[in-house]
Structure 1
């Protein structure tokens, strides 16, 4: 069995954490195909020192997938050992051992900027994004977001409308739509740009998926722009992960009496670069 096929089976199995997925990859990346063939669920559980509860979940799940596996299942699977897997993500905190995708993988080799913000953005945020996104697109930056309500959707739509490239990293499987009103946009991105997920196609939204998705955006991009953020919001999590990965963090300053500007203003106080115009991003990422 090839390593990327083995990693597909691991990703599809239950009872194993993201940290254990990465640990297992590190343990077996030099294994031969015959050695990988010889690993059964119990041996993997032993390698990872899984708890009895995790082992009871993992072994039947892995064994079932192993018995049903056909190579065609990995046609749209990009494993961490694949040459096309982006190097910045491979070197980031807790990289996914593989990603399911639809669309143009060549976009992963472009300069990428993550854009995150509120699901209920203010008119101020909408106006600023309408001003700077077309200018970022003109500089050939690929804009990456999570296809959630609010700023994510605005980012994808403005990028497409201005002839740019966009990547959506979603918190469900590729065959699921969340939120449902973004179905047509998700299909369009998958056909004309790039859609990424680390979940099997039939997996729906779960609360922990969204911070997991955020770490991918933070690891994938050369920089992250936070348009608005409350205290302790998911956008701040993404910004902090970007900082951990030594990425540039940009923030749009806002009114001091706006709850949605508390997070961005505090990011700026902590050292994030304030964005008053698109050149403040372009000069950092492209020159």
Structure 2
């Protein structure tokens, strides 16, 4: 599909503007990636000046994604994933973790950054038995995701699907109706589907997080940390699996691929994390 065709279908521009910071590229910078630009690095450094441990926090959030996928494939029997807010491909992407356990697993990635679009199509081929696909779309319009023919060509909506919302819902203000966005996605999924959420919080250091919010807003990026109770509310209508909504580093650490590590401070990464199952 050409860039002009993609824009005609999605309504999103595929023009890459590197003069403006983008959240996917800032995250890539924190993960020591190479697909970021001066504006992204400037915002990343500004946030790091308020939260010096932001890089390790980003890595902790990324590590949770791997544990969540291993739980969903290995224990919950899920073999279909809708990963929204994909970010620039790095190591241990959703399809790599899932297809390592189940080569037939299928994954659809969603992101609104055209740089992610270009890299995902080139770097996320998946296994021969399974399938991966990418949709250039914005979660603020969930119906555009659900109506995209790529989704139904890749995933079977009559079978359970895991919706991955890892570090994405903080870009929604309360008046953006984040609950309605999640409900729209879950309503389209069958019983037995899951939703995975991690969310930055000010619960551990309100003053520092307030400065992060201000830095992001100055760069034109909405950033809305939520409390534990507010994050739990995003799982409305689902059954939250054990251990519940907890600090991201404490969510089932036994599922990490590496050898067990020295116990970490639960507040070392300022994210809440959890998984909910649709009854």
Q: TM-score range by the shorter chain?
A: 0.3 to 0.5
Higher relative contact order (CA 8 A, sep 6+): 2
The TM-score with structure 2 as length reference comes to 0.39
